[in-house]
Amino acid sequence: MRVLTRGGGNLIVSVFPPEDGYYGPMPRVSTTEPVVTDTDNGISKRLYTERELEEYFSPDFRVVYATTLRFEDLVKSKTYLRRVLTVVFRRQ
């Protein structure tokens, strides 16, 4: 990402956190990383915390804003409280 952004540029990252009501309860693929596989479509997803993202993008980027969007989502006739973590980073 450093190559794609210039100094002072922003990078916006949106991910599912472990607290997501749909993906969060799913069994982990591995005991070492929070990766889940959706049994309905076979797609694997890595769940991230804000701290993990901050550590991953540092020291080249610093967090300037973070928020979690919460909403209800109907999946296969069941309602889930979904969460999407969005973090805005600024390149140093």
Distance CA 74, CA 15 (A): 19
Output the pLDDT for position 3: 66
Count the domains in the chain. Answer: 1
In a domain, 14, yes or no: yes
Q: Which domain holds residue 15?
A: 10-91
In a domain, 4, yes or no: no
Output the pLDDT for position 2: 64
In a domain, 30, yes or no: yes
For each of the chain's 92 residues, which pLDDT tens digit applies? 666 788 899 999 999 999 999 999 999 999 999 999 999 999 999 999 999 999 999 999 999 999 999 999 999 999 999 999 999 999 98
Nearest to 82 by CA among 74, 27, 54, 90: 74
Distance CA 29, CA 15 (A): 18
Place of tokens 């973090």: 87
Single pTM value for the model? 0.89
Output the pLDDT for position 27: 96
Q: Assign residue 67 the CATH number of its domain.
A: 3.40.50.150
Distance CA 20, CA 34 (A): 12
